[in-house]
Amino acid sequence: MKDELRAIRAVAFDLDGTLVDSAPDIQRALNSSLRREGRPRFDLDRVRGWIGDGPDALIARALEAQGCSGDDVALRARLRRWFDAATLAAPLAGGTVYPGIAELLAALSRHLPLVAVTNKPTPLARAVLDAAGLLPYLQAVHGADEPALRKPAPAMVLAACARLAVEPHELLMVGDAEPDMRSAHAAGCRAVLVGWGYGHATLPAWLDPLRITAPHELRAALCAAEPIPNA
């Protein structure tokens, strides 16, 4: 894999399911918002399957599962406000950083600029990353603050390239799900699919990213590829 990464000058990481197992906190925030509206709650496995497209899509899926029309804009807006408030109040109360991630970011950040590219809105993403102790390793956090920015659209990946002054082929996108891989493909970036997280099992066959099963594999590959010295 190291030969395929020799041109890489920066790395973008997805957040939920890639850096942090945040499903328990997302479930808690969703259920807290639903409870405030007198609506039924969902178990962790159900919520985990909805993660990846940001809180608005998560809320829409929850309402659809309850047989509620998506036309109630006021309800969705209220749920989103409650969701954001619950997330900011306890960004990482139940979630955990995946094993080896902190070590990976610490090693890579000594040689490469790192950013987060996530469908979480930026304020929520920064809160989670700060609570996880990962924010100091990142030069920027690109969150989907508008629907048009959400992966699989390439906009945030291209914005990261512009911010870091690298060409798309010099940026590596690391994620756990199809939207990450599609976003990288659309932007013209190389991509790595991680073997943990929430969405790697459903990747379509036509997408063919590099694959890793543990963070140390990416560290070894990037730190062995020129021009990065060994960490």
Residue 56 is among the residues annotated as catalytic for this protein: no
Q: By C-alpha distance, which of 208, 171, 179 is closest to 52?
A: 179
Q: Over 122-137, what HEC string results?
A: HHHHHHHHHHHCCHHH
Question: How far is residue 220 from each of residues 54, 107, 138, measured CA to CA in Å?
Answer: 31, 10, 19
Tokens of 31: 């259920």
Catalytic residue among 3, 14, 21, 145: 14
DSSP string, 170-212: GEEEEESSHHHHHHHHHHT-EEEEESSSSSGGG--TT---EEE
Q: Burial, 68: exposed, middle or buried (Cβ in 10 Å; 0-12, 13-18, 19+)? A: middle
Please give the positions annotated as active site: 14
